[in-house]
Structure 1
Amino acid sequence: MSILGIHHVQITIPKGAEEEARAFYCTVLNLPEIEKPESLKGRGGFWIQVGERQVHIGTEEGVERSATKAHIAYQVEDVIVWRDRLTAHGIKALDSVPIPGFERFEFRDPFGNRVEFIQEQP
């Protein structure tokens, strides 16, 4: 008996913020939206594909997202290009504590979720 991997992770946004979230995640981050099962569509939110995994963007009220260290880290090919792209879209990049062998930075998405972009260095 073993855990095989991660199927998906979920982050949350305020109820009614789906279009703003799509603009950020699908347009700025260029992640494709995937179809939710019909049985879950009434809950709000949407799903995106990230490589072989999914990120489920659900809706939730009463959460102070900017007060947590919980986060999702996206592995990228060119962390500098991503930092520049996000800065151009008004997202403030924050330096992270160095990890040997990696270049990385973090930021808060428009809803306060902590996000990290990380690139392995040769």
Structure 2
Amino acid sequence: MVIGLHHVQITIPKGEEEKGKHFYCQVLGLKEIEKPDSLKGRGGFWLQVGNKEVHVGTEDGFDRLTTKAHIAYQVENIEQWKKALAEQHIEIFDSVPIPHFERFEFRDPFGNRVEMIQEI
């Protein structure tokens, strides 16, 4: 029986951890958490998002712009996020509407698709 969601993993190119930490920790304001010693040699970093984790691994040879795979962050003030990301020169894309939610998408600096979603 599946009882919940523990973490999701996205990837960035090998050697881009500092750029990734800047985007995810400084621009999005997520908190970095320490990886277990047994995994530190594999590259990447981990983030805390509420009571869940986002694991940012490293992977080369993959075109992130060709996939619909994405992560959706639930937010409280979606208009504030649109403005903050636009100020960082991040292109905002409208999402297909779904009932009871306002949402938009963008690509992180590595091409990963990201969604911001707010319940209305």
Verify same fold: TM over 0.5.
yes
Identity of aligned residues (%): 67
Deviation at 1:33, TM superposition (A): 0.1
- Please name the residue that 1:24 is paired with: 23
| Partner AA of 1:49 in structure 2 | Q
Deviation at 1:90, TM superposition (A): 1.1
Cα RMSD for the two superposed structures: 0.4
Distance 1:7 1:30 in 2: 20
- Please name the residue that 1:109 is paired with: 108
- Please name the residue that 2:66 is paired with: 67
Runs (5+) with no aligned partner, structure 2: none
- Please name the residue that 2:90 is paired with: 91
Runs (5+) with no aligned partner, structure 1: none
- Please name the residue that 2:54 is paired with: 55
TM-score (norm 2): 0.99
Distance 2:4 2:83 in 1: 32
- Please name the residue that 2:35 is paired with: 36
- Please name the residue that 1:78 is paired with: 77
| Partner AA of 2:116 in structure 1 | F
Distance 2:97 2:105 in 1: 12
Distance 1:95 1:109 in 2: 15
Distance 1:25 1:89 in 2: 13
Deviation at 1:102, TM superposition (A): 0.6
Distance 1:77 1:22 in 2: 23
